[in-house]
Amino acid sequence: MGHALRARVVRRAARLSDTRWWAEHTGRVQTAQLRGLLRRAAGCEFGRRHNFARLASLPDEQMLAGYRAEAPVADWYAFRGPIARMREGGEPNVLWPGLVRDFAQTSGTTAGDKFIPVSREMMRSNYRASLDIFAHAVRFGISLPGVMGGRCLFIGGSTSVETNEHGVRTGDLSGLVTGLIRWPLSEVYLPGREIALMSDWPAKIDAMARLCVEHDVRFISGMPSWAMVLFDRMLEVARERGRAASCIRDLWPNLRVFVHGGVKYAPFDPRVRRFWSGDAGEDIPHRIELYPASEAFVAIQDEPNREGVAQPSLRLCADHGTFFEFVPLEEIDSASPRAFACDAVEPGVRYVVVLSTCAGLWRYVLGDVVEFDSVPGVRRGLRGPAPRGGSRPARGPARLRIVGRHRHFINAFGENIIVEHVENAVAAAAREAGVTVGEFTAAPVYPGEGRRPGLELAVEVAVGLPPAFAEAFDRALKQQNVDYTTKRTADLGMAPPVVTPLPVGAFHRWLESRGKLGGQHKCPRCANSREIIESVVGVARQA
């Protein structure tokens, strides 16, 4: 199988290696993607309303300007009604031609639970992106026959899906793409359909560990947080079975590739190394980072990892049926934000990602904030806002790094907590515990020596907080967020939240220390880093 896969991707690997070509032509490739999307969707309701047929007949620059004039930048809420008609009513030709039969359910960091259309064309787009992972592996010198000589483990979500009376399926994206796993890949695929269908995560991790500990796994794909949970359980199973294994390398000596994405990897790097090689601190031989989303596959790491580089650049998937635009972060909430194609951006400037997809999302705000490390050659001198210092852009394929979200959120371990979740949970906990609280903020707790991954809430309170407060806070978050519930099930992926009480006035003193005390300034209710919460707690302890 490995030889067949290598033969399938070797020509693509050669094309991806021609970085000069991509530096010169990525902009034109992206324009062609947009033209194809407009032509394909010209006859659906959205396409007719926004004159896609006419736009597709215009020269490149006019087409792009006309498209931006016709279709506003919009978030998921703007598409909620049409998506409901498509998913719940089985209505065809709304946002995309024909009947879209698959919808991915996800807890979004900016809009709560969302349903994302996954057309047949998007399935093909995702499949092509998956082949690019192996094409880049070939470029890195990884032997696909060697990798495929053992087993490939995919640590995905539940593959269970629900089908309504219109034949429309809804479920985790992992479940929707399970049909793509066919022979010969099915011969090396783990954990198999029966375990993949399990929705009880503690039981699923246990079953996966008991199965995989006996196999020669050479390739893993999944979120690093869940990979470490699995590694921990596998070592326990190995000890139960009398096997001498101090690290994962003892169990899987032929493991060569770890493909990961979904959360920032750097906080997990030390623990992954310890799980893999014990105290030696050596890394898994090859890691490939992805930028996947339910809406579309965005980017793939296209250069090998280098020691000292915590976050590699990821190359934009420019020719898979998605058109990308980038809105300067400071303009995303304006009525008419400027948007730039990938050949008109500047390195060092923060942009919000906007997508037009082959599943019917048009100028859709994905929400991630990115910075470019290299950009394609620009046509006609069109560039976006320059970074401070006016540095010259690095030429090359469009390569970017995720630096955050344009809304406050917490997603260190895939929990997808937004401000509303935190605010509602604090209010519910205060009611249940019978206490009055003041200002508050939440942040992730990153794993370390004697410290498990989790969530911390720092909250002002005049009197001590009873244990019931933390328990009620945890329970209220679970009631609002399916992803958090999954991570907290049986304390497997995340420990119970830590509540840090602060004296009333602590947040005001913190704002004053930053010169921001006043009615127009406030502390974010949550953040995906610990900078704010540690600063607030530090000021409170100095008082």
Answer whether residue 392 shows pLDDT above 70. no
Domain membership of residue 141 (yes or no) is yes
User: Do 284 and 429 belong to one domain?
Assistant: no
Q: Which of 278, 295, 318 is the last residue of a domain?
A: 318
Q: Is the pLDDT of residue 521 over 60?
A: no
pLDDT in tens, 133-182: 999 999 999 999 999 999 999 987 766 789 999 999 998 887 787 766 76
Mind listing the pLDDT tens digit for each residue in 179-197? 667 666 778 999 988 888 7
Last residue of a domain, one of 302, 318, 334: 318
How does residue 384 score in pLDDT terms, banded at 50, 70 and 90? low
Say whether both 207 and 314 belong to one domain. Answer: yes
Range of the domain at 106: 1-318
Residues 297 and 435 both lie in one domain: no
Residues 311 and 415 in one domain: no
508's CB contacts (< 8 A; 6+ apart) are 439, 517
Q: Are 283 and 424 in the same domain?
A: no
308 and 163 in a single domain? The answer is yes
Same domain assignment for residues 125 and 6: yes
Confirm whether pTM is higher than 0.75.
Answer: yes
Q: Is residue 401 in a domain?
A: no
For residue 346, tell me if it sits in a domain.
no
64 and 168 part of one domain? yes
32 and 132 together in one domain: yes
| Interatomic CA distance for residues 275 and 268, integer angstroms | 11
Residues 9 and 129 in one domain: yes
* Residue 35 in domain: yes
| Residue where a domain stops, chosen among 283, 318, 353 | 318
Domain count, the chain: 2
CA atoms within 13 A on the CB side of 148: 17
Among candidate residues 114, 71, 113, 111, the one with its CA nearest the CA of residue 95: 71
Task: Find out whether 352 and 372 touch, Cβ atoms under 8 Å.
Answer: no
Q: Is residue 528 part of a domain?
A: yes
pLDDT of residue 520: 45
- Whether residues 141 and 274 share a domain: the answer is yes
**DSSP, res 295:** S
